[in-house]
Structure formats: C-alpha cells, structure tokens
Amino acid sequence: MDSRHPVNTRLPAMLRSGQPLRGIFNGLPSPAIVEMCAYAGFDFIVIDNEHGSADFETTENMLRAARASDIVPVVRCFESDISRVLDMGASAVQIPMVNTAQHAERLAQMVRYPAQGRRGSAFSSRAAGYGAFGGDAHTQRSNDGIALIVMVETPEGVQNADAIAAVDGVDAVFVGPNDLSHSMCFGSNWGAPEVQAAIEQAVRAVVATGKCAGVLALTPEDEKKYSAWGARYFASVTTGIFTRALKQAAQAGRGDDVQLKY
C-alpha cells in the first residue's frame, strides 16, 4: 500500500489472520494519545465516539495521528455517523448494539460502495486524498480494505450472534460485557457466572462461523480466558490505564488500594 494514502487498509487481513490482536479504546479527544498508543505497541486503537467527547474535526485529526504513527484506527460510532467517519479515513467502524442479522446487513451495506453496498461516493474527502486517490481505485481499495465490526451487547444479540457473524461484510463481532451485564440485570458485575456464560456463548458462536470474535479484556487473565474460547480481538481502555497509574503515583507509600470500575 502506498504509504502516502490516507487510509490504512491492513485491518481486514489482520482480522482474518488467526493471530491475536491487542488494541485500546480511547474516548479522550487527543491526537497525542493516539500516537502514544501507537508507540506503546498496540495493534489498533478504537476512537470512541459513542462515549467519548471528540467532535468530527478532532476525530479527523486523531485519524491523521494514527496514520502518521502507523496504528490501525477503528472508530466506534453511531450508525448515522458511518459515512462521515469513513470519509475522514477510518480503517473500520465499530457499531454498538447490533441485535439481529438484519441490522448487521444494513450496516454492511452502508460501509461498502456499490456494487457491494450503498455507501455514498465522494472523492473530495480525506479518505480519497481530497481527489488525489479518488475514482475506481479508491472504491475498490475501500471495499477491500475497510472493516465492519459489530457489537453484541444484549441477550438478544447473544442469541443471534451466529447469524450476525455470518452476514457477508461483517468482519468481526465484539462482545461488550458492561452493557451485556446491565441488560441481564447484573449491573456492573460482568464477572457474574451468568454474564460470563453469555460472553462465552457469543464468542464461540462467532468463532464457529469463521469470523473474528472480540471482547473487552482488561487484564492478561481476561485475555487468556477469552482466548481459550476463541476470541482474538482484545481491547482495554486508556482512561482505566491512565487513572490507575495516576492513583498509584498519588497514593504511593500510603497503603491505599487502587480499585477502579470501567
């Protein structure tokens, strides 16, 4: 791939590789944090526009930082923002609360250009190099090199995980344990056996279709457990890491335990 091209198109192949991928959610509106995550060695970063505070201009600058530092940028966004985020140069979109195969099919259509989908075409965007990389080559590069990751976060989504994963155009399915736990009436206790069983059910169903399964993994122990179920796309959270490190620095020598909720 031309290193000058605005869009990093490595992710679909990475998701098909069978290798574990380690990334990180970031909701803080900072291109510098994107670069820090790249230099730390993460495979990908999820720019969190569902719960984060970045506006579109800052999001685009974070995507520039990702391209410059060579980390694959995924943007978690709402369905209505897919077109704009992709035109800014995201390598993938990660869409929350996907409960049915029909919803996943609609999203896949929005991510790909015709004839594979119905994404609106414009070559004046950053993704097309403001025209420098437009035309049929941009269309093909995008259809081949942009990934769609959908999130299963409810009991309905868990029950439909195999059908969702089987949708042509879905590259990975990520299980969101916090929302799943809340939707199962366990609050923030996603370590509850019932919630863990639902996560395992979803992960194994996705893997059985041949697609990549992902889940939030905040510790090496989490990653090891979910790996045994077949998950390969793991993510932690910048704010949790930052807050833990800051609390440890602030409380060093005072004997206070650092316990955080995410």
List active site positions: 51
Contact between 226 and 234 (Cβ < 8 Å): yes
User: What's the first-to-final CA gap in the chain, in angstroms?
Assistant: 37
- CA 31 to mean position of chain CA atoms: 17
Structure tokens at 237: 């959270």
Q: Indicate the residue type of 250.
A: A
Structure tokens at 156: 């309905």
Where do the DSSP E strands lie in the chain?
21-26, 44-48, 72-76, 92-95, 147-152, 172-175, 212-216, 233-237
CA distances from 61 to 15, 58, 104 (A): 25, 5, 28
Residue 93: name the closest of 78, 103, 105 by CA: 78
Residue indicated by tokens 């998950």: 231
* Dihedral sign (CA 125, 172, 227, 156): positive
**Phi, psi (5° rounding) for residue 164?**
-65, -45
Contact between 8 and 67 (Cβ < 8 Å): yes
